[in-house]
């Protein structure tokens, strides 16, 4: 037996130094989520944070407050964030990547600024952010970047300096897109083919916000196009796997602006009426605009749309969101490694399906804030 040479790497052992390089130059990962109330007394202050200056009618706020009160004033979204943090910690550990994970929200405690301060106090100076929002638009992308810039500025006032990058929009990263595909396939396997329709659902946004979503190349409507491209790809893949020819529709939920302001349509409830009229018996509802079963999913879909479907005699089967599915979580860590490689000026492979990968540094002026110009981090403007 030869003794191992302690000056040489042991090929049977993972090379920690090597693994560590894969997340260089980052000292920490921040999961940035929307945030939600934890108790009844949080509900109104939370809603005021979300809608500050956004022209949402009082009646809508009161109605939404009631949705939260029905659940005791507690949204499941913060718990989902903590579960995702712990799944990310596990996946990083499995890859022997030593990267602490922090959790911060845009609209409720734990706030992003506190997460970044905690990271800074632990010695971190350069962080990478993963958001719980996969698509492009002001609401789902730039608003997160504005809040990152705001938190960095607030810490700057405290004498704390931080550099923050963000992973690219991931609606078409295989970790997300393939997980959605598998969840839809599994749901359909259990159901009769005849009379079944696939109905994708995402958050409605104002028409004007959709029209201006994207890099400002004149095309616009990137929010809608991303959803449509993914819906087409998922449906084709499902049909290929199951040897079926399901049709699909793209619908919207959770509209909240004043009635005269156009938002993306059709609303899922209105569309269920149309489908019932066409003789559709069963709808497989895919909430692919969201990454967890939070309020929009459990109230607007599982309660409201389910009630509409029952009234119409349509069976509504709701597919789970990606949540902490291992393939999704692993994809997020792939995205962190990809972003780190870019930050080191190397050229990582950038898998995308369908279409091509989104930018990691947002182009100047993309997905603009139509109300006020505010500084945004992680972009070239």
Ligand X SMILES: CC1=C(CCC(=O)O)c2cc3nc(cc4[nH]c(cc5[nH]c(cc1n2)c(C)c5CCC(=O)O)c(CCC(=O)O)c4C)C(CCC(=O)O)=C3C
**Dist. CA 80–CA 292, nearest whole Å:** 7
Number of Cβ within a 10 Å radius of residue 194? 7
- Tokens, residue 351: 């898998």
Choice between 77 and 184, CB closer to ligand X:
77
75 is in an annotated binding site: yes
Residue 243, classified by CB atoms within 10 Å of its CB into exposed (0-12), middle (13-18) or buried (19+), is: exposed
Question: Could you tell me the smallest distance in angstroms from the CB atom of residue 72 to ligand X?
Answer: 13
The secondary structure of residue 215, as a DSSP letter, is: S
Do 370 and 212 touch, CB atoms closer than 8 A? yes
**Dist. CA 197–CA 212, nearest whole Å:** 31
Question: Could you tell me the smallest distance in angstroms from the CB atom of residue 152 to ligand X?
Answer: 20
- Cβ neighbours for 359, distance < 8 A, ≥ 6 positions apart: 168, 215
296 is in an annotated binding site: yes
Question: Could you tell me the smallest distance in angstroms from the CB atom of residue 290 to ligand X?
Answer: 6
Do 344 and 332 touch, CB atoms closer than 8 A? no
Question: Could you tell me the smallest distance in angstroms from the CB atom of residue 356 to ligand X?
Answer: 22
CB closest to ligand X, residue no:
256
Backbone CA torsion sign across 52, 58, 59, 61: positive
Choice between 51 and 239, CB closer to ligand X:
51
69 is in an annotated binding site: no
**Dist. CA 361–CA 280, nearest whole Å:** 43
Choice between 188 and 305, CB closer to ligand X:
305
Choice between 267 and 337, CB closer to ligand X:
267
Choice between 97 and 367, CB closer to ligand X:
367
171 is in an annotated binding site: no
- Cβ neighbours for 32, distance < 8 A, ≥ 6 positions apart: 104, 105, 106, 112, 129, 130, 131, 132, 144, 147, 148
Paired sense of beta strands 282-286 and 248-253, if any: unpaired
Q: Which has the closest alpha carbon to 288: 261, 256, 328?
A: 328
Choice between 136 and 196, CB closer to ligand X:
136
Question: Could you tell me the smallest distance in angstroms from the CB atom of residue 125 to ligand X?
Answer: 27
Binding stretches for ligand X (CB under 6 A): 34, 36, 47, 50-51, 54, 56, 60, 64, 75, 77, 132-133, 137, 139-140, 203, 205, 254, 256, 289, 294-296
Paired sense of beta strands 28-33 and 126-131, if any: parallel
Question: Could you tell me the smallest distance in angstroms from the CB atom of residue 171 to ligand X?
Answer: 10
**Dist. CA 115–CA 101, nearest whole Å:** 10
Choice between 128 and 297, CB closer to ligand X:
297
Question: Could you tell me the smallest distance in angstroms from the CB atom of residue 202 to ligand X?
Answer: 7
**Dist. CA 238–CA 189, nearest whole Å:** 10
Annotated binding site: 75, 144, 203, 296
Annotated binding site for Fe-coproporphyrin III: 75, 144
Annotated binding site for Fe(2+): 203, 296
């Amino acid at each position: 037996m030869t003794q191992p040479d302690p000056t040489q790497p042991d090929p049977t052992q993972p090379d920690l130094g090597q693994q560590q390089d894969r997340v260089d130059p980052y000292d920490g990962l921040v999961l940035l989520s929307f945030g939600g109330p934890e108790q009844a007394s949080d509900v109104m202050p939370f809603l005021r944070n979300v809608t500050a200056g956004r022209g949402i009618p009082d009646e809508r706020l009161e109605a939404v407050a009631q949705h939260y009160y029905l659940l005791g004033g507690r949204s499941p979204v913060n718990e989902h964030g903590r579960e995702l943090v712990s799944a990310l910690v596990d996946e990083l550990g499995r890859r022997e990547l030593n990267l602490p994970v922090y959790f911060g929200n845009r609209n409720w405690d734990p706030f992003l600024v506190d997460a970044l301060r905690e990271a800074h106090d632990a010695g971190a100076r350069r962080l990478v952010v993963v958001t719980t929002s996969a698509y492009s638009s002001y609401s789902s992308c730039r608003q997160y970047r504005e809040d990152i810039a705001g938190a960095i500025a607030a810490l700057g006032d405290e004498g704390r300096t931080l550099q923050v990058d963000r992973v690219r929009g991931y609606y078409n990263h295989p970790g997300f897109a393939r997980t959605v595909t598998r969840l839809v396939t599994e749901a359909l396997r259990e159901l009769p083919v005849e009379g079944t329709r696939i109905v994708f659902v995402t958050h409605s946004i104002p028409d004007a916000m959709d029209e201006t979503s994207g890099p400002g190349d004149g095309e616009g409507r990137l929010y809608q196009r991303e959803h449509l491209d993914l819906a087409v790809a998922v449906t084709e893949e499902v049909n290929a796997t199951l040897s079926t020819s399901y049709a699909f529709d793209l619908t919207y939920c959770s509209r909240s602006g004043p009635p005269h302001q156009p938002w993306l349509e059709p609303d899922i409830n209105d569309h269920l009426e149309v489908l019932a009229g066409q003789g559709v018996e069963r709808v497989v509802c895919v909430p692919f605009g969201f990454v967890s079963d939070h309020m929009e999913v459990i109230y607007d879909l599982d309660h409201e749309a389910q009630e509409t479907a029952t009234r119409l005699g349509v069976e509504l089967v709701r597919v789970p969101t990606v949540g902490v599915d291992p393939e999704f979580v692993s994809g997020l860590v792939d995205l962190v490694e990809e972003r780190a490689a870019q930050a080191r000026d190397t050229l990582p492979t950038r898998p995308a399906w369908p279409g091509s990968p989104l930018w990691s540094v947002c182009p100047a002026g993309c997905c603009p804030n139509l109300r006020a110009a505010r500084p945004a981090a992680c972009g070239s403007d």
